[in-house]
Amino acid sequence: MLYFQDLMPWQPCAATTLFTNSISTRVILAGVLQGALVENLGHYTVYWLAALWMSTQGWDV
């Protein structure tokens, strides 16, 4: 949120709203992407790929 507020210091409320709406957008896009991957690869493969990806990211994520 601080990133958005730094971009728009004269409108802190608008920056907070933009941040909050971007979270909702990311959740919707993630669901669509997961659905497309599951359609092509299956649930088992998608969850293993997600687990593998998260294991390479470390604890910072």
pLDDT for 30 equals 92
Closest C-alpha among 27, 7, 26, 25 to residue 16: 7
Cα–Cα dist 18/11, whole Å: 11
Q: What is the pLDDT of residues 23-34, one digit of tens each?
A: 889 999 999 999
Give the total number of structural domains in the chain.
1
> 61 pLDDT exceeds 60?
no
Domain span at 8: 2-57
Number of residues that this document lists for the chain: 61
Count H helices, E strands: the chain? 3, 0
